[in-house]
Amino acid sequence: MLITTKKIIPNIFTLLNLFCGCLSIIFLQSRNFNYSAVVTLFSIIFDFLDGFFARLIKNENPFGKELDSLADMVSFGLVPSVIVFLLLEKKTPIPFIEYFSFFISIISACRLAKFNITPHNNHVIGLTTPVNTLFFSSLSIVIINHPILFINKKIIYLITMLSMIFFSCYFLISKIRMFSFDFEDFSWKKNKIRYIFLLISTFLLLTLHVMALPCIIIFYIITSIYFHKKLKKKNS
């Protein structure tokens, strides 16, 4: 009985992730971006915990893997598209342009499917769907609560949002090796860049609060591109 209970623990966290994803969509229907961001954060936590416990009790099985992808498709595939859809709706001069937001869902589905059939390594290739969702979720709070930061001209706003959709889709399926936080040890020499990144991120969070999250994720992607190019140059 105990063994059976242990086996379902990761799946419980996966279903909690899915439940939070559904809640996020409900909040978005009433344009409550703040509550949506909170439950999205819980989705990310539960997504981390299901993988953590699956590895801990050595219960990584095909059913759990498929269930995890289906939950992620809602929480980290559909949610960011709905966020962008609402941020674009009735705010651009071109009708129906907001439907381009669902390219994020389509590309997220492709990424999740590819993840299921690809052998896992210690490093991550491409931008993960939870990080991508965190970016758009935090961005929505910034736009709604600090509209003065965004240029009022609709065409510039449209170009900015479409660019974000494009880069989101590109990085989701890119072959860029993302910056890893797997510490082999805690020495400064081997982890100097990691420590600097964490220090800068902490400073941004303390000074800019929620506004810092999109900046940190962009900084993370830029850092990853730098290390990816450096690694390619080293191996060539």
Give the tens place of pLDDT for each residue, 199-211.
888 898 888 887 8
**CB 131, CB 104: distance < 8 Å:** no
CA 228 to chain centre: 19
Q: Is the dihedral angle over the CA atoms 169, 91, 97, 40 positive or is it negative?
A: positive
Whole-structure pTM value: 0.86
The pLDDT of 9-24, averaged and rounded, is: 94
Going by pLDDT thresholds of 50, 70 and 90, the confidence category of residue 107 is very high
More confident residue, 36 or 157: 36
CA 85 to chain centre: 17
Instruction: Assess whether pLDDT exceeds 50 at residue 138.
Output: yes
Going by pLDDT thresholds of 50, 70 and 90, the confidence category of residue 131 is very high
How many other CB atoms sit within 10 Å of the CB of residue 200? 15
Instruction: Assess whether pLDDT exceeds 90 at residue 20.
Output: yes
More confident residue, 63 or 192: 63
Give the pLDDT confidence score for residue 2 in this predicted structure: 41
Beta bridge partner(s), residue 125: 177
Instruction: Assess whether pLDDT exceeds 50 at residue 128.
Output: yes
Instruction: Assess whether pLDDT exceeds 60 at residue 1.
Output: no
Give the pLDDT confidence score for residue 50 in this predicted structure: 87
- Rounded Cα gap, residues 71 and 85, in angstroms: 20
